[in-house]
Structure 1
């Protein structure tokens, strides 16, 4: 607990990201990884193998982007830094661990950014009661990226904004909430295709609650987004019992795509 408190107090973070829970989420994720390092190891290995294979499909040199770089648990940063001329790590929060890793590579740059472009307009809308905004992902400066990786981000994009909507505008119709979440996911895929020659993505696609080795509940994580069959897939035991539930374990199904080049308009 002392480590988490220190990280929360000392990690640089934009005020809006702190208020909406992005810093707390990053700190909690790091703590969970430390507790569940062994359970997560097959997932982490699968992610790193997939990213290596995906990066090898892109030409050497040029620019690479990692959206949702987070704690860099799943990202083989030395490999990307060696293969590409510039690597841009994009997230709402860059932890001390991630900053230390980035400093080891002179061609790696950190960019603190909301990739949806929706958070600041949402904050305004929730303050003045206006309709939920449409996402407007940012145009990033410089030449088009040769390679862009969305790193376990797609399923997560709507979660903290939806929490804020539930807190600050609890009477928002369910259909409006669902449309907002679905549009965030759809626009993220389109944005990746727009900014990069190769739009690579991995994300959890289902959440499974397991008990005694059997699936008790399952829920899709794709917010209605229609994706082709993944190029690679694996399971991630993200919260073995009793991490979240005394009796049940939480398992994520993960899908990975080498190149979602064709944009899907929201």
Structure 2
């Protein structure tokens, strides 16, 4: 079958990623849905295809911890001459907190995010490395959102005619395994009506708690729905556009993160220039 559009979902073998892949595959049987993660012990692609009676979901391994493997993945993808990618969903809902923890105003109980520079967060000096361990987590959430805004700005400035959009989303509060902080465990995903039955993290239970299938429906809409066409550079909680933290809108910090990342990822100056020009 000649697929009309491909979708790539990272971390899509369980939970939010699984339900996202399932729903897009069901809605668009003519699209190729690619699930990419380090492993697929659950045989997710096979399971979704069997459930739907289709064969438009595939698994391609991807290890994001190794830049060389990421580059190989991209090169192999390009060699297949697929149609333009319809949606790229970078799924990271594998902790007990949602992306709202990046914002000190949310009072999540975790240490406040503190972006100093991309270099210091990537190669932490002692003053940062020896600080609260969970601040590394909130910093990573802040960096995700800042990167979204930095990418949106450059897409809009340099290739607006291509109509590429990018958004950030906090979808679900999940718990997959015990944390070292001795926080009482939450079940994998808790229905909002039952949240009061479980011991919350310090700071209380957030109302942003949903079943994986419910959160997936919001994410699928954000990535593929016609009414979201042209919406870019925004931050969503479920289906609602909300504001992110004050620091996330700091363009100097966004630019620092962008410049460090392109320098780190590029093999040479020529490739760094190509990244900047989106070629």
The structure with more helix, counted as a fraction of residues: 2
Q: Same fold (TM over 0.5)?
A: no
Q: TM-score range by the shorter chain?
A: 0.3 to 0.5
TM, length-normalised to structure 1: 0.34
Which has the greater radius of gyration? 2
